[in-house]
Structure 1
Amino acid sequence: MTLRREAFLDHVRERGEYGTVEEAGRAARVVLALLGAHLVGEVRAQLAALLPEDFALILLNPLQSAEPLSPERFVRATAAWIEGATEQTAAWDVSAVLSTVADAADDGLLGQILLQLPVGYDLLFGRPQPT
């Protein structure tokens, strides 16, 4: 089931403790643009189908990434794209957005997403996997 835009942004806003929905939207756009560069094929399409249309389009037309970013570099890249962000605030942004995405996806899809990402992203999604 596709999340409504308001519901998606409300979840991100609450988790990120943002003052406004606009701040939550900015974080969501950057994180999803970076995430989209790491996902391919059916997995990316299935995840996009769960997101509000404007965020689905961002996921499907991502920023290009020359190589998969480690979780640490993903957070750093997020900080670079959000004006005034630090690595600490960017980690918060990434967690707020990706945990909302994880809630929208079922366990099977989340497992497929994690298989396409470097080790350690399970923590960014707020879903630590047993090692």
Structure 2
Amino acid sequence: MITDAHVPLTQHQPRSKTYEQMLERVRYEGTYPTRERAEEVVHEVLAGLGRQLTGDERVDLARCLPLEAARVLTAQVPDTRPLTGKDFIHDLATRSGASLATTRWDTGAVLATVAAHAGTGLTSRILHQLPTGWALLFGQAELTPTA
């Protein structure tokens, strides 16, 4: 439960311990040289995910994340056209100016950490809501039904 929802996040507020732990995990997963770089990547990817995720899954994911991360996710207005995993990477690469390979790496580092916060049940619900190609971004196998 978010208890300080009425307190605006400013650069002067200390970050929560759980957010620091999240950044440290992303830094480790992505082998980033600094925590600041990990935070940039977290902001880019969570903002992108916030433009794709809607409904209960969006709300439930925000509840699982540290407050600072939840604010990045929920500050975005969802797009009217959901993107496949591949298109999501292209969109983030275009917005950030990074290469597709770097964007894929960054996305994997962040979404693996997001999946750890969300747990398997919520991650599965999120993946069922999103178009194809997202499971690998979350570090999971893409399972397709057989005919």
TM-score clears 0.5: yes
Gaps of 5+ in 2: 3-16
Could you say which structure has the higher helix fraction? 1
| Structure ranking higher on relative contact order (CA contacts 8 Å, 6+ apart) | 1
Q: Is 2:112 the counterpart of 1:99?
A: yes
Matching of residues 81-120 of structure 1 within 5 Å? 81-83=95-97, 85-120=98-133
Shift of 1:130: 3.2
Cα distance in 1 for partners of 2:78, 2:101 equals 24
Shift of 1:119: 1.0
AA matched with 2:119: D
Q: TM-score, normalised by structure 1?
A: 0.90
- Which sits farther off after the overlay, 45-54 or 74-83? 74-83
Judge conservation of contact 1:34–1:63 (CA < 8 Å) in 2.
no
Q: Is 2:125 the counterpart of 1:125?
A: no
Instruction: Find 2:36's aligned residue among 22, 45, 58.
Output: 22
Gaps of 5+ in 1: none
Which residue number corresponds to residue 10 of structure 1?
A: 24
Superposition misfits of 4+ residues, deviation over 4 angstroms: none
Aligned length: 130
Shift of 1:42: 1.6
Shift of 1:65: 2.4
Q: TM-score, normalised by structure 2?
A: 0.81
Structure index of larger Rg:
2
1:1-33: per-residue Cα shift (whole Å, max 9, x none)? 998011100111111111111111111111111
1:106 is paired with a residue whose SS is helix
Which residue number corresponds to residue 9 of structure 2?
A: none
Cα distance in 1 for partners of 2:73, 2:115 equals 14
* RMSD between superposed Cα atoms in Å: 1.9
